[in-house]
Structure 1
Amino acid sequence: MKPTKVSRLLPLVACLAWTARAAAGPAPVSSLAVIQGQAPEKVKKITLYAVEEGRKAEIANTTVNEQHAFAFAIPAPKEGFYYLSTGGAKGDARIYIKSGDQLKLTLDNGTYTIQAGSAENKQLLQWQNQLHTISQHTFLGDTATYLSFFPKLEALLPKIAGLKKAVNTPNKKFNDLLKYTMDVDVEFAAMRFLLIPHSKHPEKSQYPAYYGQIIQDEKYCDNKLLANGDAGNIVRLYETFTVINGGKKRQGPPSLKENASLFCNDTIKGLLITESLGGFRTFESLTEAIAPVKQYLLTANQQERYLAAEKALRKFSAGEQGFNFAGEDLSGKKVSFNDLKGKVVVVDVWATWCGPCKAELPHLQKLEEEMRGQNVTFLGYSVDETKDKEKWAAFVKEKDMKGVQLFGAGWSDVTKFYDIKGIPRFMVFDQQGRIVSIDAPRPSTPELKAMIEKTLSKG
């Protein structure tokens, strides 16, 4: 899912009439959700986050006015958890928003009180007040030790069953999510407390019995975890917790494949993988670790994050391995760049609507004829949109275009990866799939043929 664009959100100063602004927006007033309230005295800005596949994604921010007031109006919001941040050290305030909601609250560095709001938010606040008894001690700088934290944790645990029974709003979707989230929240707080610095640390023999049930053979099987803005942190924390407390002897750190196997939900495995991408310092180490688990990058968001990580570790210098992009040929068969290793590959990124691309075509066809019989593959990669696929296929047949012709369905991975902003773009790769040039000369100049021949001569 793409995060809601900031331009679709209307940050409001609380003393202004929000209805007039909403009427000018794309969504009807009845679907507009409004969040307004008071910020702590020294806070200057409030940031609003939605949840995108287990992560907090900023969708708007607003400046607090002279009366410490703020407001947001969200046209037709996606129902679920949202977070308000004051930038304080004690975390963000979690709220629940759906179309038409009007929430008025007072923030206080991670906690809040409600003046007016939905049944869901009132129920959520009851839980957050209970959770706060332990969660307040899970941030850096808190002076509590296990001597005070463990008794508070053990006091909360027996209450949870009763708190779940008390969740009875008219919104079944919310009720189910909150009941599930209660267990996740407590585990998160319990693990987090152990894994941050304190002045005193317990021996494992001093842990409450609760810690013994956190590690399970199949963990976080339910996709509802992804509705939690802290899910990315939770899976990483659980991974660390199992290494320290799992009792398994390991030779070195666990692999990404081993860590992914801790979870039984493939999308959550993908979340763990993308949360781990920042730990790699070389392209080779990244691709080696990802290869056994790449099939778990199921969503477009996860795939984009991995692509960005690959790209960040590349310099696109000659000799670097080329990106393994793919497309469909005329028969609908998927063909990838790696399938063509063993030959020099000349890539032409083009489209049927591109005049300069068409102007290069006769020169390209002449070059293909001159290079016939040599160890070269010419690959045409169309960035025509999906709706124009038949137009692309007809053009390829009409012009009798040779080589490998692939349909990329718009400005897809290859253009994003190589920062291709304009076409035609020609690229040359050697027999091992390594970059010769990602901005090669055009066929209408003699330099492209010279580059291909030089690459062939190096074997």
Structure 2
Amino acid sequence: MKPTKVSRLLPLVACMAWAAPTVAGPSPVSTLAVIQGQAPEKARKITLYAVQEGRKTEIANTAVDEQQAFAFAIPSPKEGFYYLSTGSRGDTRIYLKPGDQLKLKMDAGAYTVQVGSPENKQLWQWQEQLGTISRHASLGDTATYLSFFPKLEALAPKVAALKKAVNTPNRKFNELLKYTMDVDVEYTAMSFLLMPHSKHPEKSQYPAYYRQIIQDKKYCDGRLLGNGDAGRIVRLYETFTHIMSTEKRQGPASLEENTRLFCNDTIKGLLITESLGGFRTYDKLTEAVAPVKQYLVTESQQQLYLAAEKGLRKFSAGEPGFNFSGEDINGKKVTFNDLKGKVVVVDVWATWCGPCKAELPHLQKLEEEMRDRNVTFLGYSVDETKDKEKWQAFVKEKEMKGVQLFGAGWSDITKFYDIKGIPRFMVFDQQGKIVTIDAPRPSTPELKALIEKILSKS
């Protein structure tokens, strides 16, 4: 069968999904969402983004053909907002659910739905309304507040009536769009104030609408995380509140103060991760994040922070050691910082690792030789959670001394120090600073000599 235009243009990710084995249940075609359309004249590639915790995440891209046509096929998409991007002039927001068929024409800074679901038609109608102000809140627009403020004051009162007109059969979408309409207008209004213009207003000239944006606790609703611009929005709101404040400050607000603007922990975590790029030293980063680290509630937020911390570390001698943690044999949490005051020798190992077990007799001999010295030997197991009882039994059977911690797999310590193979031995001084993150093994005399050298300096 000759392939259709759509199938010729499908990104590889979709073709791979079609090659999956057949399973019982509904046909996979019934859950396939297809997006096709006409790209702007100079566009060469279209990128499709999903939304993950308030950020756009690329899931596919495709080249534009000689007729400026493009297409995507997305097997069983998670329902929600998606974004199409040509790399310039902003992104086109669409709504997808399994089985959707969408055809649109993209122009510079706008688009038209030619075939689409009720949700996409309703979303398009709203974005046409929003366009009356949003085009003036982008870089390169020459409008000043003299033309923007009247348009904002004309649209803002209409939003309540426009929300009443949202009436697709999809209740979930209806509620999301109504919520998003308020967010969109606020975002556009705040963005305008921070864009460079030839003429800027005094605060006294701001429309009354700006005052109602400020709330004691903002963005409590987790639905904001379904918006691909949520990261920008929370950072923008943080800046906007300081612009609107009458309080005179000696310096910028701390991260701890800024998280108090919001009442949803995941959104607080989003603000923290969006702020990470502003830190230039490890000490400033860790000092700022320490009081709010509990708000990094998702795995992706924790990994973003870990990457930022790692990016400011050099792992050279004299650098502070990473404050990793694990559970001891009794289930008590122990952190690296708890052990400061002694030389710390870390052994990263696992019960399934033959070379690790081969080093154990040598390690135990070294521990005995250093028994009365100012040294702590710490074993850090990377056994998986399912093997925790096996680890506990092994520790007891082999009478392993020192501090024995369970890390539940290849956790933070291995990711932070780029440990790809075990055993790995690391040595830290009495102040918790790195001596080496790739130390000799106990089966060689060099490890004992290194420890003796550190102790002789104290």
Q: Distance between the aligned counterparts of 2:373 and 2:109, measured in 1?
A: 67
In the aligned structure 1, how far is the partner of 2:134 from the partner of 2:148? 10
The 5 Å alignment of 1:163-242 reads 163-242=162-241
Distance 1:321-1:17 versus aligned 2 partners, 3 A rule: closer
For the 8 Å contact 1:85–1:110, the answer to whether it is kept is no
1:178-223 Cα offsets, whole Å, 9 max, x none, are 1111111000000000101011111112211101111111111111
1:3-18 pair list within 5 angstroms: 14=6, 16=8
Q: In structure 2, do the counterparts of structure 1 residues 213 and 411 end up closer, same or farther at CA, with 3 Å as the change threshold?
A: same
The equivalent of 1:68 in structure 2 is 68
Letter in 1 for 2:375: V
1:67 and 1:390 map into 2 onto residues whose CA distance is 62
1:54 maps to 54
Amino acid paired to 2:112 = T
Task: Summarize the Cα distance change of 1:419–1:13 in structure 2 as closer, same or farther, 3 Å threshold.
Answer: farther
The match for 2:80 is 80
Q: Distance in 2 between matches of 1:322 and 1:154?
A: 55
Aligned-pair CA distance for 1:16: 2.7
* Equivalences for residues 379-390 of structure 1 within 5 A: 379-390=378-389
Which residue does 2:432 correspond to in 1? Answer: 433
1:458 corresponding residue in structure 2: 457
TM-score (norm 1): 0.94
TM-score, normalised by the number of residues in structure 2: 0.95
- Counterparts of 1:288 and 1:270 in 2: how far apart (Å)? 16
In the alignment, which residue of structure 1 is the partner of 2:288? 289
* 2:20 alignment partner in structure 1: 25
- Mapped to 1, the partners of 2:57 and 2:9 lie a distance apart of 27
2:250 maps to 1:258: no
In 2, Cα distance between equivalents of 1:441 and 1:33: 55
For residues 125 and 20 of structure 2, what CA distance do their matches in structure 1 show? 34
Looking at structure 2, the residues matched to 432 and 26 of structure 1 have their Cα atoms a distance apart, in angstroms, of: 56
CA contact (8 A) 1:226 1:268 kept: yes
| Aligned Cα root-mean-square deviation (Å) | 1.6
Aligned to 1:107: 106
Aligned to 1:249: 248
* Counterpart mapping for 1:278-427 below 5 A: 278-427=277-426
What is the letter of the counterpart of residue 458 of structure 1?
Answer: K
Aligned partners of 1:367 and 1:443 also within 8 Å? yes
Query: Cα–Cα, structure 1 residues 415 and 21, in superposed 2: closer, same or farther, change >3 Å?
Result: closer
Q: Distance in 2 between matches of 1:158 and 1:237?
A: 23
SS of residue paired to 1:229:
coil
Q: Partners of 1:33 and 1:331 in 2: how far apart?
A: 51
Q: Which runs of 5+ in 1 are unaligned?
A: 1-11
Query: Residue 381 of structure 1 contacts residue 407 of structure 1 at CA under 8 Å; is this kept in 2?
Result: yes
Name 2:150's counterpart in structure 1: 151
CA–CA distance in structure 2, aligned partners of residues 412 and 328 of structure 1: 12
**Residues of 1 paired with 2:420 and 2:79: CA distance?**
36
Pairing 1:37-52 to 2, within 5 Å after superposition: 37-52=37-52
State the distance in 1 between where 2:298 and 2:17 align: 33
CA distance in 1, matches of 2:323, 2:383: 20
1:83 and 1:23 map into 2 onto residues whose CA distance is 23
Between 1:378-387 and 1:104-113, the stretch displaced more is 104-113
Residue identity in the other structure for 1:53: E
CA distance in 1, matches of 2:339, 2:77: 46
Contact 1:427–1:437 (CA<8 Å) still a contact in 2? yes
CA–CA separation in structure 1 for the residues paired with 2:384 and 2:76: 28
1:274 touches 1:306 (CA, 8 Å); kept in 2?
yes
Contact 1:215–1:246 (Cα < 8 Å) also in 2 = no
Q: State how many pairs are aligned.
A: 447
Distance 2:50 2:185 in 1: 22
Q: CA deviation at 1:279?
A: 0.5
2 CA distance for matches of 1:303 and 1:250? 31
Separation in 2, partners of 1:356, 1:415: 17
Cα offset, 1:22, TM superposition: 5.5
The one-letter amino acid of 2:45's match is K
Q: Distance in 2 between matches of 1:421 and 1:327?
A: 19
SS at match of 1:103: strand
Alpha-carbon deviation of 1:395?
Answer: 1.5
Moved more, 203-212 or 178-187: 203-212
- Aligned partner of 2:35 in structure 1 is 35
Q: CA deviation at 1:165?
A: 0.6
Unmatched 5+ residue regions in structure 2? 23-27
In the alignment, is the contact (CA less than 8 A) between 2:9 and 2:71 conserved in 1? no
- Paired residue type of 1:379: L
Contact 1:92 1:109 in 2 (8 A): no
Overall identity of the aligned pairs, in %: 80
Q: Distance in 2 between matches of 1:186 and 1:20?
A: 39
CA distance in 2, matches of 1:363, 1:271: 47
Query: What SS does the aligned partner of 1:276 have?
Result: helix
